[in-house]
Chains A and B, each alone.
Chain A
Amino acid sequence: MSIIAENIKYVYSEGTPFVTVALDNVNMTVEKGDFLGIIGHTGSGKSTLIQLFNGLEMPAEGKIIVDGVSVGEDKKKLKNIRQTVGLVFQYPEYQLFEETVAKDVAFGPLNLNLSQDEINSRVKEALELVGFDYNKIKDLSPFDLSGGQKRRVAIAGVLAMKPDYLILDEPTAGLDPAGRNELFSQIKKLHGKGNFTVVLVSHSMEDIAKLVNKVIVLYKGKIHMKGTPKEIYSQSEELKRIGLGVPQIAEIVLELNKRGFNIKNDIINVEEATAEILKEIRRRKNV
């Protein structure tokens, strides 16, 4: 079970002077159970790519195959694919519209011909998954919530569809650090539950480093790098060249090494950095 992108090409504004190749020769696989991060500069094609994953956009060339089914080949199957691949857009809170939180989350499942009991239990489960107390939140108006709470309600709306793949486009843009940590710990928990697959598009190198087990770097519509967070973030010069960065902790290690420290260059979290720096300081004292 996987999402496979085969030789994808996507072109915007074809036939106008503004014609832009947004994606070119993209080949990749999201395996079931992956926690995949996609990074890239603004306009690198990240959002286009994930919209291809559930058939919102169709490639000009190439194929997207979700669990063995080629997206778009059979229009009737699109509905299934969109349920399998749940997509949370940037600023999903702008899509909230119902009178109460519970009604808003129920909107998707209501269109699936489910029994009222099943819908209620899905709504409850989805709201709890994103960290809410169901009884406290269900009757509130979504518009009375804070930005971070609205965001979580919107994500619950997608989770209530029980997708196998959850794709999040910049889910924490505009959230405060606590909201960010809260949302990510919920997503991490979700991912920990068996066969759930998460694809995270983010500009936060710190978040990507903390969460994912695979990273894809897009640059000008092409896959520029692939690897584990450690493999990717040890190449800080290259990342900067293409408009990205490294987590601040990797920056510190890089600077220390420039000044004569001898620390592994693939450090991406504070714990590892502490251990390495202490080792180096002790080594220096003993010399």
Chain B
Amino acid sequence: MEDNIIKIENVKFKYGKEDNKYAVDGVSLNIKKGQFTAIIGHNGSGKSTLAKLINSILLPTEGKIFVKGMDTSDDSKLWDIRQTAGMVFQNPDNQLVATIVEEDIAFGPENQGVEPSEIRKRVDAALNTVGMYEYRRRPPHLLSGGQKQRIAIAGILALNSDCIILDEPTAMLDPSGRVEVMETLKKLNKIGKTIVLITHYMDEAVQADRVVVMDKGNIRLDGTPKEVFSNLDAIKKFGLDVPQVTELAQVLIKEGVDLPSDIIYVKELVDLLCQ
């Protein structure tokens, strides 16, 4: 079994033929099966383009991408690739298609010609996983933003995707909606799904196993959340931020308080200060 579910090999991409700027400029990245990766970077850094390349919505200008061993530029594999790596977008209203929640989730498997009895099973399982089973007969437009995103995620689960790529899924959500989505993602990761989360929220990125920082179409930092966010100057240079707790810890250190320089969680700082 291939260990890396996503392999990106020296990929370059530009939108127009005459463009002299590459939106993605020589990225190599391997993502292991079951890993929870957060990709952060300023607007225009190439994050979303990279996500679309993985999902075969865009094809590399140069280089290759393999999803579970399948070349994304191989036309005949298109549907298998999209089934393996499903994508959730920022605006929940743009990706729900049916008038009833369970029909929306059934839409994907139906298009694949899955048996109706199997569809029923998958839809129920997906709804339970995202904690929306009791809403199965509701019209999606009457749900909250966080609930809609969970339905979108359930739609991907019903395709039995191994990997879920999310492009700023919480940008439009209120604080509790954001928590709902993050909890759902962590739960899915626990049952073995590979998660690639593109986000502008640093407090979400710190919850991943791995954080990849993009800038000008390339990867600038790559490591655990602690490794990446302790690099305060680099993070600021790339137009990003650190969580407030990290900022606070850094100021306290400057004031002479004895703390490690890689604090990124509230609990961590509170524990250390209360010793």
Contact = CB atoms under 8 A, between A and B. Distances in A.
Interface of A: 18, 40-43, 90-91, 146-149, 170, 173-181, 203, 205-206, 240, 243-245, 247-249, 251-252, 255-256, 259-261, 270-271, 273-274, 277-278, 281
Contacts of A41: 144, 174, 176-177
B244 A278 contact: no
A18 B168 CA distance: 30
Interface string B79-90: 000000000001
Contacts of A243: 174-177
Contacts of A251: 266
Contacts of A203: 173-175, 178
A281 B273 contact: yes
A244 B175 contact: yes
Interface residues of B, number: 41
A75 B202 CA distance: 47
Contact of A178 (B171, B174, B178, B239): B239
A146 B243 CA distance: 24
B244 A248 contact: yes
A259 B270 contact: yes
B41 interface: yes
A46 B203 CA distance: 25
B142 interface: yes
B217 to A, nearest CB: 12
Interface string B219-257: 000000000000000000001110111011001100101
A270 B44 contact: no
B267 interface: yes
Interface of B: 41-45, 90-91, 142, 144-146, 168, 171-178, 200, 202-203, 239-241, 243-245, 247-248, 251-252, 255, 257, 266-267, 269-270, 273-274
A206 B175 contact: no
A255 B270 contact: yes
A165 to B, nearest CB: 24
5 contacts: A176-B43, A178-B42, A244-B174, A244-B175, A255-B266
A98 B178 CA distance: 34
Q: Which of A18, A90, A174, A180 has the most CB of B within 10 A?
A: A174
Contact of B248 (A173, A181, A273): A273
B270 A281 contact: no
Contacts of B178: 203
6 A-B pairs with least C-beta separation: A178-B239, A146-B44, A177-B241, A245-B175, A243-B176, A176-B42
Contacts of B244: 206, 247-249, 252, 270
A247 B172 CA distance: 17
Contacts of B177: 41-42, 243
A7 to B, nearest CB: 26
A45 B45 CA distance: 34
A177 B200 contact: yes
